[in-house]
Amino acid sequence: MAESGKIVAIRGAVIDITFAPEKLPEIDEALSLQGESVTLLAEVQAHLDRHTVRAIALQTTSGLRRGDEAVRLGQPLNVPVGDAVLGRLMDVAGNAGDGRGEFPASLPRRPIHRQPPALVTQKGVSDLFVTGIKVIDLLTPIARGGKAAMFGGAGVGKTVLVMELIHAMVKSYRGISVFAGVGERSREGHEMLLDMTSSGVLARTALVFGQMNEPPGARWRVPMTALAIAEYFRDERHQNVLLLMDNVFRFVQAGAEVSGLLGRLPSRVGYQPTLASEVAALQERIASVGDASITAIEAVYVPADDFTDPAVTTIAAHVDSMVVLSRDMAAEGMYPAVDPIASSSVLLDPLVVGSDHAEVAMDVRRTIERYRELQDVISLLGVEELGSDDRRIVERARRLQRFLTQPFAVTEAFTGTAGRSVTLADTIAGCRAILAGACDDWNESSLYMVGTLDEAREKEEAMRRTDVGSPAKVHQ
């Protein structure tokens, strides 16, 4: 018979429950709260004394009252896994949310809490996860079985970049995808579902959402639900898994809300004192084990564009590739607005990517960095006052920045320009040619929003033909 207790206090999402001393549930154990008109799930977060626990509700507590029964489930929250969840949308508790009926009771289930794989069982990552996005493949290569994060403030293109990565990997990626929408708006979730359906990727993807209007407990545990599904396919099916999370900052934010509700004293900038351990509990489970891996691509909101924010620095400590999105570049129309200097990857090493790739990437960075150093001089005195070497560097840096822009397939409906996917070899060849001066006499606009350098060359030739044939040129 299930052991039960009684609810003695309800304060929003926080519920205090009394049990017999020897029947006290463990931390992270799930409870079923059974009111007269509502049944919902909660998770134990603290032992207040020998008789009382404090739990966080994972669903809204409306309709619950003191004296209602709380039944111990004897284990952490567990969710359905396996092939039946592919192509489906679910909430934090594994309930279907796409209107296509509930999951059958016979499905295997897995707990959302689990220890990360032992270090001795993990294998290193050195294989590139080629995306077809020039600036990422060249300057911040992503590791297959690694963790990549897109850092950026509001409105600089994090979600668009994640969507494009999903689209780019439909053809090249043969594994399973799991998408965790953490604190997503309803509109974003709906758009994601429609885009995945139209691109044909939904059949091999499981979607887990904890929306912005849900209680903090639900938003806090959604990434764990997605991880439980990903780990099942990695460990028991030996399949590679692509885990996409948008937005990991909302996970931290939900944890801060939960911490405040539990009465803990805040730490730096008002964040929870357990920030580092909570982020580690999530990130350390993302790993390659045996012949299968989980590759994570995470969007991270940067509050007020402050990259020293404790949440941002804590998440950054766990990732292999940091893709930093720049508001200044977005304002100039350089999309994707990836900052080539602030972005980094542990894979950008000659022993991993090869000396050719590493050398070109370093030269691109060096050229753009020198251009930025000279910008104050340019804005005060003009380009004409620079020496010939510096002027040449500035011109090549501007062309490199434009060449690293790229039209996306997911924005085609808004821009009218078809998306481009570029091979790594073409990206390296194009950047090397610009660095060598092959494009010094080209219009900068010829390199803007193109795929390969050959496409830019055709654009330049077309512009020259137009200039030659124009009445002004003929008159001259």
Catalytic residue numbers, as ranges: 158, 184-185
- Look up tokens 């003929």; give the residue: 474
Cα(first)–Cα(last) distance of the chain, in Å? Answer: 96
* Residues forming a β-bridge with 294: 241
φ/ψ (deg, to 5) at 418 = -65, 145
* Residues forming a β-bridge with 181: 209, 246
Give CA–CA dist 325/302, Å, rounded: 10
Q: Is 453 exposed, middle or buried (0-12, 13-18, 19+ CB in 10 A)?
A: buried
Give the containing element (helix H, strand E) for 4: strand 4-11
Q: What is the DSSP letter of 206?
A: E
Give CA–CA dist 454/407, Å, rounded: 16
* Residues forming a β-bridge with 57: 42
Q: Specify whether the CB–CB gap between 302 and 153 falls below 8 A.
A: yes
Q: Is 423 exposed, middle or buried (0-12, 13-18, 19+ CB in 10 A)?
A: middle
Sign of CA dihedral 152, 154, 155, 161: positive
Is the peptide bond preceding residue 336 cis, with omega within 30 degrees of 0? yes
For residue 249, give the nearest of 282, 226, 227, 285 by alpha carbon: 282
Q: Do the strands 52-57 and 39-47 form a parallel or antiparallel pair, or are they unpaired?
A: antiparallel
